[in-house]
Chains A and B, each alone.
Chain A
Amino acid sequence: MAACIVCPKRPLLALPFLLPSCEPVALELRRNQSSYRRTKQRLRVKPDASFGASNQSRDHIIYNPPPTAPSVYQTPTKFLPPDDARRALRTDASSGSENLDSFAPIYKSSPEKTYHLSPSDIEEIRKLRLTDPMSWSRWKLAKRFGCSPMFIAMVCEAAPEKKEMQKQVLEAIQSRWGAKRRMAREDRQLRRETWGRDE
């Protein structure tokens, strides 16, 4: 019961509507009725700093834009060509001096690129993957050569019979899907396509 949770310490006699003789409809109405004082209290939001009395007594411009996504028509300063006049106009203050270090990166650690594989290694990767595709998967090759599976996919392609087998495995899995799962997967794919169109 919501009322009991909100004010459990009040004496029951002071709240006559809590007595069982009271109807539940009336009780709800009574609790949701906001008083003038309560309304004022809720609306008392601390104003933004730029609205407050600043140290300078002169008139000044209040700049407090609503939080919106930045427009794509406003070119970032880094993307302006060197002879553009807007480069000089944009100062640190206008670009928003945010503390970059306080932002957490998406990935825990960005791996440093080592570029340690030689052409002979790449030849070996190709040979292993083509001759014995069952035992040398992308993950195993990546582990052995100390690179990412993405790199393995970039330098070589799976053998055709392995591709055919994987296709059959996928079809077997998908044949067990019901309508709900299939539609959910298709919807997810459609949603992912809207990312690139910015919809």
Chain B
Amino acid sequence: MKRLQLLRWSSSALSARARAGVRLQQNIARGARYQTTVSPAAQSESGQLADEQSFPPQFSSNPQQSKYALPSPPVEAARESAKLAALHARLYLPSRLPLETLARSLVDTSADPNPNFNNESLATLGHDLLTYYTSEHLLCTYPRLPLTVIFAAMYAYVGPKTLTAMAKEWGVETAAAPGGEVDPGLLQFKRLLPGTELNAEGATMRPNAHQKSWRKSITSRIVYDNEFGEQPQTQAPVDAQGAQGVSFERANATFVRALMGSIYLHAGRPAAKRFFEQHFLSRHLNISELFNFSQPARDLSRLCARENFEPPVAKIISETGRKSRHPVFIVGIFSGKDKLGEAAGASLLEARSRAAVAALKGWYLYSPLNVRVPSSTEEEGAAPWKPVHVDLGEVIV
């Protein structure tokens, strides 16, 4: 298989302003500007000759003024920002990811509505990558998880709250207001006005969406809702003088997604995957704490009937202080000769219920040996794909 020429791609991924700002051309232009005493109008003409991209003349005529006129920092400022270089080094990003793209991933749509200079396209790619890698990891590692738990685990791994916490841990600071003169190492977005309704739900494909009181089934959430099982939030409408603000959480989450997308574009798939494993999968999530059963004993007996096991029987393994104020019972649930689960409780009912919960968790948290994910076959020389364990699904009573 032929390798993809990502370096060649990366030039197209960079915006036009970045392509124009090649260092050699920059230096020549600056040198010419310093050596001559011609008027700013003539300077702008020579600058236009050097750049393939035609800037509006008032921008390049006076650099100080032009910076204030721009909605986001110019591309040339990325090389001079200490914050940006520090962030690049701190995250141990691949050297093929240029500082200009890192600066672009820090510019939100609300700061710069021009799609050539904001991070929206990078964030879309990064979001798809993050959710793909997370969902394949969850489905292959725990093939029997119920769908509600998968939604919760997806939210815990790549939900907006987690991404915001990660951006905070990485030391990404936010600018008070976006603008051309701002340090490009700061996250730039226009803030929401105080008192704005945050949880406005966006458009949905769901039929009967106006019926707010109707129950939303889990199955319909797969079809109509996003990867976290939630109705997607509305996109902030763009008014005449520019984009409306976004929340702090949303801006930070968009930045982290855009960073993932830019790593994929510039450094390739293996680097993106390594970044995902080091920063996202390495976060500890105890999946067994995401469960909540309302009728565990009934669910377990339904499960045993479905799988043709003997019906579960609760037996007392040991007990102490039955007639005292604080008795402890250890109850095991047996199906035939095999023990399915055991737990301790202060009453026989509690111990039995907890033992049933332990048995159900033992069923749902089954993990096969030598877990492989589908994206691992994309590497060169990878072993052919073998189908993973597919379960019947969760217990439906």
Contact = CB atoms under 8 A, between A and B. Distances in A.
A74 B354 CA distance: 16
Given A73-B288, A105-B313, A196-B296, A84 B337 contact: no
- What is the interface residue range for chain B against chain A? 35 or more
A95 B345 CA distance: 23
A124 interface: no
A66 B368 CA distance: 27
Given A69-B342, A196-B293, A106 B288 contact: no
Nearest to A113: B311
A115 interface: no
Interface string A62-99: 00000001101111111111001110000000011010
Given A95-B338, A196-B292, A197-B292, 10 more contacts: A75-B363, A79-B340, A80-B366, A85-B369, A105-B316, A106-B316, A192-B350, A196-B293, A196-B296, A198-B289
Contacts of A77: 338
Given A75-B365, A77-B338, A198-B291, A106 B358 contact: no
Majority secondary structure, B binding face? mixed
10 contacts: A70-B342, A72-B288, A74-B362, A78-B309, A79-B340, A81-B366, A86-B369, A95-B339, A103-B317, A106-B352
A110 interface: yes
- What is the interface residue range for chain A against chain B? 20 to 34
B354 A195 contact: yes
Interface of A: 69-70, 72-81, 84-86, 95-96, 98, 100, 103-107, 110, 192, 195-198
Contacts of A84: 368-369
A100 B334 CA distance: 9
Nearest to B315: A103
Nearest to B294: A196
A198 B357 CA distance: 7
Interface in B122-147: none
Interface of B: 288-289, 291-294, 296, 309, 313-317, 331-332, 334-345, 348, 350, 352-354, 357-359, 361-363, 365-369, 389
A106 B297 CA distance: 13
Given A103-B315, A195-B353, A196-B296, A72 B361 contact: yes
Contact of A106 (B296, B315, B336): B315
Nearest to B330: A69
A86 B368 CA distance: 9
Q: Which of the listed residues B331, B339, B340, B363 has the most CB atoms from chain A within 10 Å of its own CB? A: B339
A97 to B, nearest CB: 10
A77 B365 CA distance: 13
Contact of A78 (B313, B315, B335, B344): B335
B292 A70 contact: no
Contacts of A197: 289, 291-293
Contact of A198 (B331, B336, B361, B363): B361
A81 B389 contact: yes
Given A106-B315, A196-B296, A73 B367 contact: yes
A183 to B, nearest CB: 19
Contacts of B340: 76, 78-79
A70 B389 CA distance: 24
A72 B338 contact: no
A89 to B, nearest CB: 10
B200 to A, nearest CB: 31
A100 B342 CA distance: 14
Contacts of B289: 197-198
Contacts of A78: 309, 335-336, 338, 340
B362 A69 contact: no
Contacts of A198: 288-289, 291, 354, 357-358, 361
Given A72-B365, A196-B293, A103 B316 contact: yes
Contacts of A104: 315-316
Nearest to A79: B363
B357 A69 contact: no
A8 to B, nearest CB: 28
The 5 A-B pairs of least Cβ separation, nearest first, read A103-B315, A72-B361, A196-B293, A78-B338, A195-B353
Contacts of A98: 317, 339
Contacts of B292: 196-197
B299 to A, nearest CB: 10
Contacts of A195: 296, 345, 350, 353-354, 357
Contacts of A74: 362
